[in-house]
Each structure stands twice: as structure tokens, then as C-alpha cells.
């Protein structure tokens, strides 16, 4: 009776179950989003991520005051969610640290795995060897460390929101009308990953190597999203981009 009551109330639960929970994930990625938003204010939009549709819609209509209100709403909603989830024993804030560690491990392995796969296929990066790790770091020569961190966090949150949390379930639901679910999932992963890769060429010349690198990264982010949840996918993406833009910077 006690066990059934605990399960029905949503807790207690272990790290892996908590970290896969979507509500918990949204709470845990909120600090990353707020740092990115702070960067937008401090740089007056220079760190804007192309997938940040909230800022793209809010700024032209309501300006910086509108974005400030939006951030206030995010903070209040996040605090309420933490209180409610904690009381229901569905969430322990202490999982933030192991989630960051897990994301760091995946981020390190991500670059190694993709470069090895492409190398075995005979596809090698032009120029410096470091470009194998950092094909996403073009156009950052004039940005300072804080701006780079904000851009990395913005990419991690906004791109995962759009290409994984938004597209994968959406495309899967549409494709299921014409094919079995497993095939629909494959279609969703491929389409979202191709679009994820192509989205980076809005202000950058197309190159086969970087396209394939980002395509494979998109597939791996989809796998992390499916197996470990939205929060871990965001942390992996954000930490990887911090490594590329800050730690491995070569400008």
C-alpha cells in the first residue's frame, strides 16, 4: 500500500528516472537559458541564437522591456515548478551536478566519435586538425569569453528545443500516419538532423565535412534525447559548444 502510494505521487525516484522527466529537465535547463538571456541584454542582441524564436518574436514587437518581462515570467514559473515538484517528491535539485557531469562525458565522446566515423569513411576536415573538433566555431574571432559562453548555452537550449523536443515528436506523429512507428522515428531523426545541420549555413559557406559532422551530431543528440531525456541532451549540447567556442578556441 505504501509503495503504491509513493509511485502514484511520483516519488521517491532515482537519478536516471528524475533526469529523464520532462518537467525536471525544463527546470534544470532554465539556469542555462537565463544566462543566455542575460548575455542578450548585456551584448544588446549580439549573442542571439538563430533558433531563439521567443526573442526573435518578442524583440521587434515589445523591445527589451518585453524580453525582460518574459524572463521574469520564466523565473517565477521555474521557482513555482521547483517548489511543486519537490513537494511531490518528483524532483531533487541535487541531480543538476550529475546531469552536468553526464553531459560533459557525452560532450567529450561526441567529438571523438564523429571525427573517427568520418575519418573511417575517408572524410577529413580541411586545414587545421583542431577543426575536426570545432567546425561550429566559425565567426567567433571578435567575441569575448562571456559572449562565447552565452552563445554556447543559447545554442544548447534553443536548438534542442526546436530540433529535438519540437521536431522529433512532431515529425514522428505526422509520419506515423503513413508508416509504422519505428520507421516514423527514423524519418524524424533524419529530417530533424538534416535541418539542424543546414540551419548553421545561414551565415556560413557550405562545406561537406561540416555538414556531415553536424548531421551526425544531430543524430547523436536525438539518441541522447530519446534515451536520457531533454535535459541531458541540452547539457551535452551546451557543454560541447562551450568546449568548442571557449576551451578549444583557435582564433
The predicted pLDDT at position 155 comes to 93
With beta carbons less than 8 A apart as the criterion, state whether 99 and 19 touch.
Answer: yes
Domain edges within the chain: 2-247
Q: Cis (ω within 30 of 0) for the bond into 117? A: no
Over the Cα atoms of the chain, what is R_g? 19
Q: Which three cell numbers stand for residue 193?
A: 538532423
- 107-130 burial string, b = 16+ CB within 10 Å, else e? beebbeebbeebeeeeeebeeeee
3-state class (DSSP) for residue 12: coil
CA distance 234 to 168: 15
The predicted pLDDT at position 88 comes to 82
What is the DSSP secondary structure assignment for residue 179, as one 8-state letter?
Answer: S
3-state class (DSSP) for residue 142: coil
The answer for residues whose C-beta is within 8 angstroms of residue 62's C-beta and 6 or more apart is 69
The answer for residues whose C-beta is within 8 angstroms of residue 183's C-beta and 6 or more apart is 175
Q: Write the DSSP assignment of 80-131 as a string of letters.
A: HHHHHHHHTT---GGGHHHHHHHHHHHHHHHHHHHHHHHHHTT---SS-GGG
The answer for residues whose C-beta is within 8 angstroms of residue 244's C-beta and 6 or more apart is 111, 133, 134, 136, 137, 152
The predicted pLDDT at position 204 comes to 76
The predicted pLDDT at position 127 comes to 56
With beta carbons less than 8 A apart as the criterion, state whether 181 and 173 touch.
Answer: no
CA distance 247 to 34: 22
CA distance 152 to 236: 11
Q: What is the pLDDT of residues 168-190, one digit of tens each?
A: 999 999 999 999 999 999 999 99
Q: What is the pLDDT of residues 205-247, one digit of tens each?
A: 888 899 999 999 999 999 999 999 999 999 999 999 999 888 7
Helical axes 208-228 vs 96-120, angle rounded to 10°: 140
The predicted pLDDT at position 6 comes to 43
The predicted pLDDT at position 195 comes to 96
Q: Which three cell numbers stand for residue 227?
A: 534515451
Mean pLDDT by 10 residues, the chain (251 residues): 44 83 92 93 89 90 92 91 84 91 96 92 67 47 82 94 95 95 96 94 84 95 96 96 81 55
Give the residue from 217, 43, 31, 55 showing the smallest Cα distance to 145.
43
Amino acid at each position: 500500500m505504501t509503495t503504491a502510494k509513493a509511485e502514484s505521487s511520483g516519488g521517491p525516484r532515482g537519478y536516471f528516472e528524475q533526469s529523464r522527466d520532462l518537467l525536471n529537465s525544463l527546470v534544470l535547463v532554465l539556469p542555462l537559458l537565463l544566462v543566455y538571456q542575460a548575455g542578450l541584454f548585456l551584448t544588446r542582441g549580439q549573442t542571439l541564437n538563430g533558433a531563439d524564436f521567443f526573442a526573435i518574436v518578442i524583440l521587434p514587437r515589445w523591445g527589451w522591456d518585453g524580453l525582460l518581462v518574459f524572463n521574469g515570467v520564466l523565473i517565477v514559473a521555474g521557482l513555482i515548478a521547483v517548489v511543486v515538484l519537490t513537494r511531490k517528491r518528483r524532483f531533487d535539485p541535487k541531480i543538476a551536478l550529475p546531469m552536468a557531469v553526464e553531459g560533459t562525458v557525452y560532450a567529450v565522446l561526441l567529438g571523438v566519435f564523429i571525427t573517427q566515423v568520418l575519418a573511417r569513411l575517408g572524410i577529413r576536415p580541411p586545414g587545421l586538425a583542431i577543426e575536426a573538433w570545432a567546425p561550429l566555431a566559425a565567426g567567433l574571432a571578435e567575441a569575448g569569453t562571456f559572449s562565447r559562453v552565452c552563445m554556447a548555452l543559447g545554442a544548447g537550449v534553443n536548438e534542442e528545443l526546436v530540433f529535438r523536443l519540437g521536431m522529433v515528436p512532431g515529425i514522428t506523429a505526422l509520419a506515423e500516419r503513413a508508416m509504422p512507428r519505428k520507421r516514423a522515428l527514423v524519418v524524424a531523426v533524419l529530417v530533424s538532423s538534416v535541418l539542424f545541420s543546414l540551419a548553421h549555413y545561414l551565415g556560413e559557406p557550405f562545406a561537406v565535412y561540416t555538414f556531415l559532422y553536424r548531421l551526425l551530431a544531430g543524430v547523436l543528440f536525438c539518441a541522447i534525447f530519446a534515451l536520457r531525456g531533454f535535459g541531458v541532451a541540452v547539457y551535452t549540447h551546451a557543454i560541447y559548444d562551450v568546449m568548442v567556442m571557449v576551451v578549444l578556441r583557435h582564433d
